[in-house]
Amino acid sequence: MIIETRRFGRANINPDHIIRFDEGLLGFEQLKRFAIILCEATEPVQWLQAVDDPTVSLPIVNPFLIKPDYELDVDEGELQSIGMPSVEEILIVNAMVLPEQIHNATINLSAPVLINLRTKQGRQIVMEYSQANAIRYPAFEALAAYYQEQEKWRQGQKEQADVSINQKT
């Protein structure tokens, strides 16, 4: 299925991968169908793209990458609403704000998005606000550390490849 998007142009989406949000997302309650778009250039940030509105594309990220001690407060009813996923079947992501000045990037820790990977049902929940679950939690330092680690890994892979090539010659 081809969808038009403002951010990515034409995107080929597998209809089996469309996630249904019966209640929509905060601020986008009228939109019910979304797809996750992986963009290598922004990894680990992914994009929750509305299938039925090309202008709605939300940056999302694994909250534990930004805040390893993140605590999720989910009740059984919220899990039942998405088909009671097992630990292996649930994807937890949070929306981000990525301003032009990336050092001001934030993540909303108060409103995680839960996705059942088996049933393709999703729900955004709103947890009680606290300092630990800030609405605008700074994300830049964690993202910068992630990118540095990835660069070290890539450099290590390149050095290993160079050594292998030199040993063969």
pLDDT in the model for residue 26: 96
- 62's CB contacts (< 8 A; 6+ apart) are 44, 92, 93
- Residue 91 bridge partners (DSSP): 115
Q: Confirm if 123 and 23 have CB atoms less than 8 A apart.
A: yes
Tens digits of per-residue pLDDT, 123-159?
999 998 777 778 899 999 998 888 888 886 666 656 6
- Confidence band, pLDDT 50/70/90 cuts, at residue 52: very high
Tens digits of per-residue pLDDT, 70-116?
999 899 999 999 999 898 999 999 999 999 898 999 999 999 999 99
pLDDT in the model for residue 130: 75
What CA–CA distance (Å, rounded) separates 60 from 19?
14
All structural domains of the chain: 2-139 (2.30.290.10)
For the chain, the first-to-last Cα distance in angstroms comes to 48
Distances in Å between the alpha carbon of 149 and those of 2, 39, 96, 144, 163? 35, 18, 21, 9, 21
In this structure, is the dihedral angle defined by the CA atoms of residues 32, 134, 149 and 103, taken in order, positive or negative?
Answer: positive
Write down the residue that tokens 């998405």 correspond to: 82
Q: Confirm if 121 and 155 have CB atoms less than 8 A apart.
A: no
Tens digits of per-residue pLDDT, 1-13?
999 899 999 999 9
What CA–CA distance (Å, rounded) separates 167 from 91?
43
- Confidence band, pLDDT 50/70/90 cuts, at residue 164: very low
Half-sphere exposure of 6 (CA within 13 A, CB side): 9
Closest CA to 107 of 142, 144, 77, 74: 142
